[in-house]
Amino acid sequence: MSDELVLGGVGVNAVAQAREQREVIKRAPLEAKAAEKAAARDVKSQEAIQKKAAAEHARVAAEIAKQDAEEKEAWERARKQKLLDTIEAYRQRFTTLKQRNKVSSKSTLDELEDEVHYIELQLGSATNQSSVGGLILIAVTTGIEQGSKYWNPLALDLTGLAAVTKDNIPQFQPIIDELQIKYGASLYSSPEMRLAMALGTLVITVHQANTDPTARAALQKANQPAKPPPGSKDL
């Protein structure tokens, strides 16, 4: 009797386990589908987060680009206005300046800068004693005059050479211009450099006149331009 009960109990347990296994097998596809749906929701959520972050990044980049463009435009407007004012001031002060570009508020920044450069080139290479070529010639003759006091193997009296050169710059200027054209040299210098060269030559000349009686006398005689030698026009 007891053996039959035991066997009966084993049979019941086996049936229960089999039923439970069948339930597990039935639930497995449903659980797998549920897991897939959850994973898909997670993927969509991550993609949504990434898309949102990318959209925010693009928005910030667009704002920065817009701000940079506005700042650049404002700088260009200010720069163009400054160049226009500079060109106008140059033309009012120096009425003989030539014009390369017809500039206006509609001109590009490159056109305005090119026009200012052209004006500065004309002023820096003007055919007068304030041109850089003339100033270089005066500076060279001043150096030769001063250097002859310390080294003069030919025993030349060069007192007043720089003053005479300065008074006769118009006669040398065509030669300077010809050399510039021949060798393609650009003798432009900034107004600061031209002023420094002119002041340096002036200081040396005044010092020489105040300390050397011979130089003072030579400077007094150098008021009249030097006469070219006969037949020099045929050279």
At 142-195, the pLDDT tens digits run: 888 888 888 888 888 888 788 788 788 888 878 877 776 676 555 566 777 778
Mean of the pLDDT values across residues 91-98?
87
Instruction: Please determine, for residue 6, whether its predicted confidence score (pLDDT) is greater than 50.
Output: no
Q: Which two three-digit tokens encode residue 136?
A: 């270089």
Higher local confidence (pLDDT), 127 or 152: 152
Higher local confidence (pLDDT), 34 or 63: 63
Nearest C-alpha neighbor of 218 from the set 171, 148, 152 = 148
pLDDT grade, residue 82 (50/70/90)?
very high
Higher local confidence (pLDDT), 231 or 2: 231
Quote the mean pLDDT of the chain: 76
Report percent pLDDT > 70 for the chain: 76
Q: Counting beta carbons within 10 angstroms of the beta carbon of residue 114, is it exposed (0 to 12), middle (13 to 18) or buried (19 or more)? A: middle
The pLDDT, as a whole number, for residue 143 is 85
The pLDDT, as a whole number, for residue 78 is 92
The pLDDT, as a whole number, for residue 83 is 92
The pLDDT, as a whole number, for residue 219 is 59
CA 171 to mean position of chain CA atoms: 39
Angle at 52 between CA 50 and CA 57, to 5 degrees: 95
d(CA 141, CA 201): 10
d(CA 232, CA 235): 5
The pLDDT, as a whole number, for residue 224 is 54
Mean of the pLDDT values across residues 197-222?
70
Nearest C-alpha neighbor of 206 from the set 156, 152, 147, 163 = 163
